[in-house]
Amino acid sequence: MANEIDLHVGKRLRRRRRLLGLTQQQLAESIGIRFQQIQKYECGANRVTASRLYELSVSLNVPVGYFFEGLQTVAEAAGTPANVANDRELIAADVLSQKETLELIRAYYKLGERPRRRLLDLAKALQDENTDAA
């Protein structure tokens, strides 16, 4: 039975893999396991051992601590009344797990410096218009 920590680690694993544009098969091959094991890690069905977590962190180019970032927020949200700061962090984490967000981030970083700056300025201007209209 998966607990909250297993689920959180699995979500972080999936998010990072998708952000890098890797399939479960590609990630599994990079560390010498079958893709079904990655599936089980991502859904929290299997716990990730310390040695496997290290291999995943190397393969995904993140520190081991990456998989636990935001864990305190999840624990607080489950056990205590939510406050505004925690709600924002949980919403931001959910947004980053969406496929559309990841596609947008990848496309953004494929642009050169000048187009990226212009796109960011446009997004801010649209946000300001939306705020003014409300």
Same domain, 82 and 116: no
Q: For residues 74 and 90, state if they share a domain.
A: yes
Contact of 5 with 76, CB cutoff 8 Å: no
| Section 68-90 average pLDDT | 61
pLDDT of 37 reads: 96
How far from the centroid of its chain's Cα atoms is residue 112's Cα? 24
Whether residues 12 and 70 fall in one domain = yes
Q: Which CATH number goes with the domain that contains 33?
A: 1.10.260.40
**Count of domains in the chain?**
2
Whether the predicted pLDDT of 81 surpasses 60? no
Q: Residue 107 is part of which domain span?
A: 99-134
One domain, residues 21 and 81: yes
Do both 73 and 132 map to the same domain? Answer: no
> Do 122 and 90 share a structural domain?
no
Asked if residue 1 has pLDDT above 90, the reply is no
> Are residues 44 and 81 located together in one domain of the fold?
yes
With contact defined as beta carbons under 8 Å apart, do 15 and 96 qualify? yes
- HSE-CB for 109 with a 13 A CA cutoff: 7
Quick check: 85 pLDDT over 80? no
Q: Tens digit of pLDDT for each residue in 67-78?
A: 999 887 655 655
24-54, pLDDT tens digit by residue?
999 999 999 999 999 999 999 999 999 999 9
Say if residue 73 is in the same domain as residue 84: yes
pLDDT in tens, 54-67: 999 999 999 999 99
pLDDT for position 110 = 86
Q: What is the pLDDT of residues 91-127, one digit of tens each?
A: 555 666 677 887 888 888 888 889 888 988 888 888 8
Residue 93 pLDDT: 59
Q: What is the pLDDT of residue 103?
A: 83
Q: Do 89 and 103 share a domain, yes or no?
A: no
pLDDT higher than threshold 90 for residue 86: no
Q: Contacts for 25-32 with beta carbons within 8 Å, 24 or more apart?
A: 27/56, 27/59, 27/60, 30/59, 31/55, 31/56, 31/59
